[in-house]
Amino acid sequence: MGLLSEGSPLSWKETKKWADTVRNQGILQFINLYHKLKNRQNDVLKWGDEVEYMIIKFDHDRKIAQVSLRASDVLDYMHQKEKENPSEVRSLWHPEFGAYMVEATPSKPYGGLTSHFNIVEANMQARREEIKEALVAGESLMCLTSFPRLGCEDFTDPPTKPNPHKGALCSLFFPDEAVYGNHPRFKTLARNIRERRGKKVIINIPIYKDANTRSPFVEDLTSLGDDGQGAKAALPDHIYMDAMGFGMGCCCLQVTFQACNIRESRVLYDQLAPICPIMMALSAASPVQRGYLSERDCRWDIVSASVDDRTNQELGFEPLVDDRFRINKSRYDTIDSYLSPEGEKFNDLDVVYDRDVYQQLRDAGIDHLLAQHVAHLFIRDPISLFSEKLHLNNEEDTDHFENIQSTNWQSMRFKPPPPNSSIGWRVEFRPMEVQLTEFENAAFVVFVVLLTRVILSYQLNFLIPVSKVDENHKEAQKKDAVRGSTFWFRRDVMTCDSPPEAACMKCKASDQSEYMKMTINEIINGKDSGFPGLVPLIKKFLSSVDVDVDTQCTIQQYLGLMQRRASGELMTTARWIREYIHNHPMYRQDSVVSQQINYDLLNTADKIQTGDLLCPELLGSFQSKTKDDIPNAIQKAENCYDHVNSGGQLEDCYSHLNCVEGES
């Protein structure tokens, strides 16, 4: 979840007092950083995934599955091992919001070799092997975007009780004990968000109305200790949730790429923004919330509402007196503006930004688009602050900048290099939901990385108005959007700069408007008359690149999965979960996912993940090689790393956009 500073958290009142200082210093830090690094050139492609997991506790006798609140023990164990045997470390383990969550990344980023696509899955698989010894009997590490019965009675192991009157969350459903406790950051964030907005967060997701679902669907919350606040906030026919844990307690799949320079990172940030809703819909995996089937397949709006710290004034419910801006979006939301010059004409949203910060950035020689982006991030208050981190050296430190940056959770993140490091300008792709198996997670990650290579090599243009991307982002979360929805997409993605081998895939449609509505199938697989499709473009690109046979075979499987998910031939995870519930003998067509259904669902999902159960409707006949041959796959991974470390070079055609121009 971004920066994790150690130390003693300040109260919200104290934090608020320091807000201007943090912003003023944070901007100076960004300006210094920018001028130091704006001309940084020739960084090579590096990239890495982040996978988030839940530790699930199965009680096979009682037939229940719960979240196990042992993440801090598990992480302590993993970190100890890391310390003892640093040379054996293949993955890094990080805390996340939930006391039942962990995040893992590869220990080193992958590089520009095409063979690295062949080791992602093995690395993910190795993580599971590594963490096994830290788990206790009955526990399983699962990639679940949302735990179906999060916030229901008896959902944690050990048992806990929410306290609506005291603590960080004050939730009717979600106990403070289910928030990661070893580091104060997470509880502080939750408390400060609640205190800043002056009330608990309000999350309402439309319930899926089945034949026997109560209508209107209204819950009596008094028995949970509601003082009337909940009843007022809960909308009829919606699943009501009241705590940060419902959003930040979800898992996701992210990818970060290093660009050769700042210009390329701005291009990738922009070009991938319209891809966000498409990949979110394809990766949809969270149709159940707080024990009820919902009308949505994705977590996004839940997370967004779960950290929405806007006050009534900022929301426009009251006149602006103490606060500074009317703000259209939560801190966790889609991007508001493109960053590259090509994107400028598509910036059709009214971007809220701090005019003084903007002017300061402009006076420091920063161009309009970047200044607007940073000044937009800086409309927010710092939402957690540690007493040890108040006084910094603005020439060397960037903590205040990072404080604001890392609590602006947007669909794409533009990541400047950390000070005094070998790391270059990066972008992070953040919309995807996590999949059950390593095979699927690797497929999604590899697909996105390959797409970046095609975008750069063929100089593709996916830009459409940002407002249309936002429309898509809403659409993408709807039930079965892959099959039922259409999305704004650019009609002709080729540019004047596309090389001839790509230009042959130019759109042949006669209608000249720049963008149109397409299905995910058309976007991924192409249309007979016109749009080439993202997978055919990737395949075309791959045919011009040197890829060893084994890697080629792996990539074909990943692309095949994408194609068949997009066509609806294979199910999304969300659809699979829905069908499983509908077909469960104990499901009463009332939208309720009971303890027993939840247990059976997760038990089945766990078996699919381990490979003990085949699931052709989800995975087709695709086979993960690494299942049988983990040691070999890991060895291969090591060899690849060694190759990079001993100066192995990037394959030329597979590298970057012309790495010549600096930032003007």
For Mg ion, the closer CB: 1 or 605: 1
408 φ, ψ to 5°? -105, 95
490 binds, among Mg ion, ligand ADP, none (CB under 5 to 8 A by kind): none
Among positions 11-70, residues that touch Mg ion (CB under 5 A) are 50
256 or 591: whose CB is closer to ligand ADP? Answer: 256
3 state SS of 141: strand
**Is the distance from CB of 29 to CB of 570 less than 8 angstroms?**
no
> What are all long-range contacts of 70-73, with beta carbons under 8 Å and residues at least 24 apart?
70/99, 70/100, 70/136, 70/139, 71/95, 71/96, 71/98, 71/99, 71/100, 71/101, 71/102, 71/180, 72/99, 72/180, 72/181, 72/182, 73/134
Nearer CB in complex with ligand ADP: 46/373: 46
Segment interacting with Mg ion (CB under 5 A) among 251-259, 388-396, 438-446, 521-529:
251-259
Neighbours of 268 (CB within 10 A): 26
Cβ distance to ligand ADP smaller for residue 409 or 531? 409
The whole-angstrom separation of Cα 307 and Cα 634 is 38
* Contact partners, residue 54, CB within 8 Å, separation at least 6: 67, 98, 100, 101, 141, 142, 143, 144, 147, 251
Residue 423 binding partner per list ligand ADP, Mg ion, none, with a CB distance cut-off of 5 to 8 Å that depends on partner kind: ligand ADP
Amino acid residing at 79: H
| Listed residue (397, 430, 362) closest to 50, CA to CA | 430
- In the shown chain, the binding pattern of residues 29 to 68 toward ligand ADP, with x for contact by CB under 6 A and - for none, equals -----------------xxxxx------------------
Q: How far is the CB of 109 from ligand ADP (least distance, A)?
A: 4
The whole-angstrom separation of Cα 89 and Cα 130 is: 9
Q: Is 258 in the site for ligand ADP (CB under 6 A)?
A: yes
Binding pattern to ligand ADP, positions 167-206, x when CB under 6 A? ----------------------------------------
103 near Mg ion (CB under 5 A)? yes
Q: Is 431 in the site for ligand ADP (CB under 6 A)?
A: no
Rounded to whole angstroms, the Cα distance separating 124 from 101 reads 16
Question: If we measure between CA atoms, which residue out of 431, 413, 409, 143 comes closest to residue 278?
Answer: 431
Binder of residue 572, out of ligand ADP, Mg ion, none (CB less than 5 to 8 A by kind): none
Could you say whether residue 314 binds ligand ADP (CB under 6 A)?
Answer: no
Please report how close the Cβ of residue 201 comes to Mg ion at its closest, in angstroms: 19
In the list ligand ADP, Mg ion, none, the entry touching 7 (Cβ below 5 to 8 angstroms by class) is: none
Q: Total number of residues binding Mg ion (CB under 5 A)?
A: 4
Q: Which residue is nearest to ligand ADP (CB)?
A: 48
What's the CA gap between 349 and 493, in Å, rounded?
22
User: In terms of Cα–Cα distance, which of 499, 530, 497 is closest to 513?
Assistant: 530
Please choose, out of 101-109, 300-308, 384-392, 548-556, the segment that lies near ligand ADP by the rule CB under 6 A.
Answer: 101-109
The C-alpha atoms of residue 167 and residue 170 are separated, in whole angstroms, by 6
Report the interface residues with ligand ADP, using CB under 6 A: 2, 46-50, 94, 105-106, 109, 256-258, 423, 426, 428
**Interface residue list for Mg ion (CB under 5 A):** 1, 50, 103, 254
